[in-house]
Structure 1
């Protein structure tokens, strides 16, 4: 019999799965990685889930899911290279952002393009080098139809998305250098994949941390089409209804979902936090105007999480070198005084991990 669960239960379940109760030194949500931004979102995502010092030094950074930079546990990038390898040519076409009518470019199919870029990057990146230098050399190894003129850098280079997607199967990770982002070979590269090693593993992880969910939501997370995900959709999932809407999650997590009760906490989640990566935004933030404010084209704010609900957003700026100013905009008209104290504590946590002595909170 299909179980019915409420929106609140789903959110409370996700809070627990994501380690936002701060009950573990290393949250399990690292199974899907921590997406990073120029403002250091990965560090703040870890700070929202832990209580001690925060360091990303022991993790590895790579262009993984959707070609976006994510931190993962040591050794997991090589495993992800096989899991993220496209499982069909149509899947490769979706991930490369090719139009549906386009089946070849420069005489190469989407899958052949994937492989060529990965092989080219492996030939080029044999030592640490800048992104620009790597792109210049890879451009020489691909057909002209795989490149574009870039007004910004006044040159012609390989398209950005294939370049990013080819780095992981090529055995390349990222690190910060004195002159900016550096690409460097992994200590143990392993062979370039010939097929996807475990596409079900990625589906399972999304459903564990961001489920119950649908094939369409998993597809958006993987940056592919719903039809492609349906082809590899696991048979051993449990179906539930979320306020009447059909969705799925791993069978082993059903009891956890059904047993979830209210959580009481306040967290300041950074932009691109794993909790905000769920593609059912109507469930996360039912009001369209609030969705539009929270997920923007550029420069997303962070989210104010209150008892499992997203209750507002926040931004910060450094005032001098000794104070972090955090501006919180609540989606509700009134802010409870106790909530203000909890937000202040979370702002101080952010200041702490950023190495700033003090934090001041302003409520817009």
Structure 2
């Protein structure tokens, strides 16, 4: 008997308000793991992985049809950019030129630019190309962001490639080039619940973050510029710790985020290759585990604090507070305004490249 072969299937996913048809691509590896990805927002719609008994469950929040993403989505599973996370006051400078972006988030007294603006990459229809491969099926998606879109300079040519390997990893590769100096920070905004989407909260998920420091934020959730040691604080996940163990501690930083919504400064190897373990999650009930490996310098851990049960997911269950966690690999928030942070500037002739893998197992 031969082993099952990886497959790629395509189906209709609905039309945008502009009448653009969208597609949903299903990648299945030889072990039966399955990822569904829409060309709208290059969105990870579904990810089915086994528990310790071999039973598959969908472990990412989201919807079963395009209309729900159009109506209300806090970036469920989407690629966000040009600049993921926040830019203070929606302004940055390159050389002697200052650029003004939408301030689509934050309090009235401290507005900021978030996740690419009013119509970021999560709201675009990407051009898709299937990548059949015996080692695991793939999907390449491309979007050309024109000069001036959402206030950003330069024509930015972006490619995102998803690969569902036979080693049970979902690998995400980013590549971008520009014809004018610009800033770039890209991530996937998947919301994970390893018990299964819509199945309770993530407070008992045990989390490890490979980071000795994190970025404290001001009242506008913008990094202050300090790299603060995690040791002795509720932000210390250097060993596996339940997400809920200290989430309600009396800490000003937790109060500002209504829980965890901060960027951790990842520990990196001394070798030239920056690809390293960023995070590990263990869900005790199902036995599912998730390891996050990345070439990025930071990871935003968001504990789903603002999910409010107004959104009903694929399971038919509403998503309440802390129904999922996000582990968004990226450069630091507000880096264009903080010169001592790793740069997010991309120049003509340069290539932005980044890779993140989500590896699933059981214990």
TM-score, length-scaled by structure 1: 0.26
TM-score, length-scaled by structure 2: 0.26
Tell me which structure has the larger Cα radius of gyration: 1
User: Hey, which of these two has a bigger chunk of helix by percent?
Assistant: 1
User: Hey, which of these two has a bigger chunk of strand by percent?
Assistant: 2
